[in-house]
């Protein structure tokens, strides 16, 4: 089966280059960057990598919409998602996330360890919210409301996968971490953005429970 890596990105010109350097050396079949209304040079940096398909959304539509745009542009049966602001990502990590799906799992989630204390701790508390994951394309395609959930995309995917009794695996990816929002945006803006993210996650959880009622998922 072919594998596509989709990287949703919003204003990540300073970080996406190192992520793409790892992903493009992982031996996957497609690499797709979706710029979610970026106002910096995210698109320009992504286009310097040969073979990378770049999609430009004209306005910021949220992570869920960016991920779905990448899936629509992909031809592969397995879709992996990687965040654009990772530090310490290596080709090996992509292989670790994808391999369980190639071997029969419906989804595999990559969990940080030995990166930075704050990001490791966050994924100990909420390991299933990680944005680093691979899955069968059919899982994405059975969630028609996914483009609307913005930062609640991971909890939505998790909820549907559990409702469908899909096989979910987790793997530890060592030495990888995120760039903190407070570092990217400054303390005040970063804190506000984090609060907005948690609010979107909360709304997505409520919506997923409503849509995945016994009647809808039967």
Per-domain residue ranges of the chain: 3-217
- Provide mean pLDDT across the span 175-181: 77
pLDDT band at 152 (very low <50, low <70, confident <90, very high): confident
Supply the pLDDT for residue 151: 73
What is the pLDDT, as a whole number, of residue 114?
Answer: 54
Closest CA to 134 of 21, 25, 52, 28: 28
Q: Report whether pLDDT(158) > 50.
A: yes
Has residue 191 got a pLDDT over 80? no
The torsion angles phi and psi of 124, rounded to 5 degrees, stand at -75, -40
User: Which residue, among 85, 9, 93, has the nearest Cα to 47 in the 3D structure?
Assistant: 9
Q: How far apart are the first and last CA of the chain?
A: 28
Q: Class for domain 3-217, per CATH?
A: alpha beta
- % of the chain at pLDDT higher than 90: 66
pTM for the whole thing?
A: 0.81
pLDDT of residue 216: 44
3-state secondary structure of 143: coil
């Amino acid at each position: 089966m072919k594998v596509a890596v989709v990287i949703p990105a919003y204003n990540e010109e300073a970080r996406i280059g190192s992520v793409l350097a790892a992903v493009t050396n992982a031996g996957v079949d497609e690499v797709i960057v979706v710029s979610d209304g970026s106002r910096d040079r995210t698109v320009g940096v992504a286009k310097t990598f040969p073979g990378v398909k770049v999609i430009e959304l004209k306005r910021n539509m949220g992570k869920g919409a960016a991920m779905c745009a990448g899936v629509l542009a992909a031809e592969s049966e397995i879709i992996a998602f990687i965040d654009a602001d990772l530090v310490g990502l290596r080709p090996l990590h992509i292989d670790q996330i994808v391999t369980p799906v190639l071997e029969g799992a419906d989804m595999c989630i990559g969990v940080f360890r030995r990166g930075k204390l704050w990001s490791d701790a966050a994924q100990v508390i909420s390991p299933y919210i990680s944005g680093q994951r691979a899955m069968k394309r059919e899982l994405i395609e059975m969630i028609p409301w996914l483009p609307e959930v913005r930062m609640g995309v991971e909890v939505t995917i998790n909820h549907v996968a559990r409702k469908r009794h899909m096989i979910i695996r987790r793997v530890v990816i060592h030495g990888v971490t995120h760039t903190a929002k407070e570092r990217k945006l400054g303390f005040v803006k970063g804190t506000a953005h984090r609060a907005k993210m948690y609010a979107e996650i909360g709304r997505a959880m409520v919506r997923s429970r409503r849509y995945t009622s016994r009647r809808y998922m039967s």
